[in-house]
Structure 1
Amino acid sequence: DVKAEVEAAVEALKTALKDGSAEDVKAKSEALTQTSMKMGEALYKAAQAEAENEAAAGTDSSKAGDDVVDADFEEVDDDKKDQDKSA
């Protein structure tokens, strides 16, 4: 579990800050950085998988619910009509 790893790394760094040497603090800080990167990677993968699932679900539902109607239309220019009437 990545969350538990991050929490353990944070606690180890806190302990090193209180009692440890500079080298120990640096090592614990680097360990926390690595663990944080793992957490970011896991979050990114989860978000990407969720987006793919939503995209797939959106594609399926749009096919089933499309009520598209093709229609012809004529654009009317109101300014031109007003000029024709006044002339």
Structure 2
Amino acid sequence: RREEAETRNQAEQLAYQTEKVLKDNADKVPAEVAADVSAAVEELKGALKGDNFTAVKTAMETLSEKSQQIGQAIYNAEAAQQAASEAGGPTDSGADGSGSGSGSAADSDEDVVDAEIVDDEEAK
């Protein structure tokens, strides 16, 4: 019974978060992906109205898989935007733009030293 309640809560959160991401990134997500994901959200909401626990789990898994398409679409849109800005701008700003998008590339562009500060006075 507890597992069912937790799964229902997770399903409701997933539906809400997915709708929010779709709304916030409507300009970056292609219409067919948005329609596909929206259909999966509605399917999950319909399953939540019923008492079939298996249907809720199945709809939740389906939405989880479909929502990954949103992330891929957003990533592709940002990559295309960065490529366009790199082609039109100076090389330095293009390198900074690509570094901020991926995180690990930002570290490789800078002279970062991983160090630990040790206070010798406290050790005595």
Q: Is the pair's TM-score, using the shorter chain for normalization, greater than 0.5? A: yes
TM-score by length of 2: 0.46
Counterpart-to-counterpart distance in 1, 2:51 and 2:33: 25
C-alpha separation in 2, matches of 1:31 and 1:5: 11
Alignment length, in residue pairs? 60
Shift of 1:41: 0.3
Partner of 2:77: 46
Higher RCO (Cα < 8 Å, 6 or more apart)? 1
1:57 alignment counterpart: 88
The residue number in structure 1 matching 2:10 is: none
Ranges in structure 1 where 5+ consecutive residues have no aligned partner: 61-87
Unaligned runs of 5+ in 2: 1-31, 92-124
Deviation at 1:20, TM superposition (A): 4.4
Q: Distance in 1 between matches of 2:60 and 2:75?
A: 22
- Alpha-carbon RMSD across the aligned residues, in angstroms, is 1.4
Q: Deviations over 1:16-40 (max 9, x none)?
A: 0011411110010011011110111
Q: Normalised by the size of structure 1, how large is the TM-score?
A: 0.65
Displacement of 1:59 after TM fit? 3.2
For 2:89, the aligned partner's letter is: G
Q: Identical aligned pairs, as a percentage?
A: 40
